[in-house]
């Protein structure tokens, strides 16, 4: 594949996975092999909605050099690990999909893909936690890939998927979510958004530039049964903060809480988010739903997997000082 085709495939994959809810905002990254030592990879801190081939970076593993108008993703190390491990891997994606992230926290041993599913995925392994972009994370993923698995659940972080091409990698991501959702515990049935939540959102919306809500079953269930909980996943720590707080189903309580945070659970009803940009608002909604899926799952298994207070704080500070500014140019 030539350089332009690889860069185009990477930008296209970002939009595909964003549309399917497997990544949000700037989280996750994609790459496409060009030749033995180079690959095209998504840039750091740029959203997928308007990404074009011109935004995609070309990275050379041979001398750790890159060319492009932006810096390569800070997660390039896990892509390097996949390309060096598998000669047949020509497309690698790192997603933050909800159910795979939940199974990366607990219950991995209970995953039960059929023989056909396991073959289609190329095997699944679990890697230990490391801070995003850190050498520890790269080393942990490399160890998991050494088992021969082409799919890795990255504890408290997401999933890494190596495929033969863009289509194969994206299809593996979809199948992985099916397999993990089947094994996910503590989830409730579908249902309609409570009318009371819609009225509350209407009262709150005039106080902030953009407001969104979710009454998805995981958010409703967590708001009703659990309330405030600590971040288990690093994208929640980055964009929401160390805790997702539950407040009373009253407009004054919601408004007061949202003045100091981007998202809150509303007891018994779901969650409300606010942001300065509509893209951030939508991303917050997805992250709340994902965090609630993970919390319900670990609670049902009777385990606790919170990030350390220090790691959660570090990621929040880095996001606020670095990545949120990149998104806004």
pLDDT digits (tens, 9 = 90+) for 197-245: 999 999 999 999 999 999 999 999 999 999 999 999 999 999 999 999 9
From residue 287, alpha-carbon distances to 70, 127, 185, 255, 281 in Å are 26, 22, 18, 20, 10
Name the residue with higher pLDDT: 27 or 63. Answer: 63
- The pLDDT tens digits of the residues spanning 270-290 come to 999 999 988 889 889 999 999
Q: What is the pTM of this model?
A: 0.93
Distance (Å, whole) CA 21 – CA 17: 6
For the cut 70, the answer to whether the pLDDT of residue 69 exceeds it is: yes
Question: Do 195-327 and 3-182 have the same topology in CATH?
Answer: yes
d(CA 24, CA 17): 9
pLDDT at 29: 95
Among the ranges given (15-19, 141-145, 324-328), the one the predictor scored with the smallest mean pLDDT: 324-328
Give the pLDDT confidence score for residue 329 in this predicted structure.
46
pLDDT at 47 over 90: no
Provide mean pLDDT across the span 255-264.
96
CA-to-CA distance for 142 and 193, rounded, in angstroms? 43
23, 95 in Cβ contact below 8 A? yes
Class of domain 3-182: alpha beta
Greater confidence (133 vs 204) lies with 204
Mean pLDDT confidence for 57-79: 96
Contacts of 140 (CB under 8 A, 6+ apart): 127, 128, 129, 130, 154
Q: What is the pLDDT of residue 319?
A: 81
The average pLDDT across 111-135 equals: 95
**Mean pLDDT, rounded, for 7-26:** 91
Please report the pLDDT score of residue 252 as a whole number: 97
Q: What is the rounded distance in angstroms from the CA atom of residue 39 to the CA atom of residue 57?
A: 8
Question: Looking at the predicted structure, is the pLDDT value of residue 325 above 60?
Answer: no
What is the C-alpha to C-alpha distance for residues 136 and 176, in angstroms, rounded to an integer? Answer: 24
Helix/strand/coil percent split, the chain, to 5: 45, 20, 35
Higher pLDDT: 162 or 131? It is 162
CATH value of 195-327 in 3.40.225.10, 3.40.50.1950, 3.40.50.300, 3.90.550.10: 3.40.225.10
The pair of structure tokens assigned to 111 is 């995953």
**Helix pair angle (217-225, 278-301), 10° resolution:** 60
The C-alpha atoms of residue 292 and residue 290 are separated, in whole angstroms, by: 5
Predicted confidence band at 324 (pLDDT cuts at 50, 70, 90)?
A: low
Rounded CA-CA distance 80/258 in Å is: 40
**Where do the structural domains in the chain lie, given as residue ranges?**
3-182, 195-327
Q: What is the mean pLDDT of the chain?
A: 93
What pLDDT shows up at residue 191?
67
pLDDT of residue 323: 58
Q: Is the pLDDT of residue 192 over 80?
A: no
CB atoms within 10 A of CB 15: 14
- Is the pLDDT score of 105 beyond 80? yes
Q: Is the pLDDT of residue 322 over 80?
A: no
Beta strand 57-60 with 124-127 is unpaired
């Amino acid at each position: 594949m030539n350089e332009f085709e690889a860069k185009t495939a990477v930008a296209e994959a970002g939009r595909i996975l964003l549309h399917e809810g497997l990544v949000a905002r700037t989280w996750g990254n994609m790459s496409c092999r060009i030749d033995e030592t180079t690959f095209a990879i998504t840039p750091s801190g740029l959203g997928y909605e308007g990404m074009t081939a011109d935004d995609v970076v070309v990275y050379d593993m041979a001398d750790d050099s890159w060319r492009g108008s932006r810096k390569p993703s800070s997660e390039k190390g896990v892509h390097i690990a996949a390309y060096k491990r598998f000669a047949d891997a020509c497309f690698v994606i790192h997603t933050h999909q909800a159910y795979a992230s939940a199974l990366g926290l607990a219950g991995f041993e209970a995953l039960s893909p059929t023989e056909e599913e396991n073959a289609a995925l190329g095997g699944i392994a679990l890697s230990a936690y490391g801070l995003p972009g850190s050498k520890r994370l790269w080393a942990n993923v490399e160890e998991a890939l050494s088992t021969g698995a082409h799919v890795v659940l990255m504890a408290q972080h997401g999933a890494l998927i190596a495929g033969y091409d863009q289509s194969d990698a994206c299809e593996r991501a979809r199948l992985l979510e099916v397999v993990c959702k089947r094994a996910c515990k503590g989830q409730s049935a579908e249902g309609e958004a409570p009318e009371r939540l819609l009225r509350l959102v209407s009262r709150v919306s005039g106080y902030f530039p953009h407001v969104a809500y979710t009454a998805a079953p995981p958010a409703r269930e967590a708001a009703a049964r659990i309330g405030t909980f600590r971040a288990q996943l690093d994208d929640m720590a980055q964009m929401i903060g160390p805790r997702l707080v539950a407040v009373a189903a009253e407009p004054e309580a919601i408004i007061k809480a949202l003045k100091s945070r981007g998202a809150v659970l509303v007891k018994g009803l779901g969650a409300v988010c606010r942001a300065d940009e509509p893209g951030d608002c939508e991303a917050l909604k997805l992250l709340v739903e994902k965090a609630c899926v993970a919390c319900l799952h670990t609670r049902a298994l009777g385990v606790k997997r919170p990030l350390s207070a220090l790691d959660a704080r570090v990621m929040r500070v880095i996001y606020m000082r670095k990545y949120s500014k990149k998104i806004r140019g």
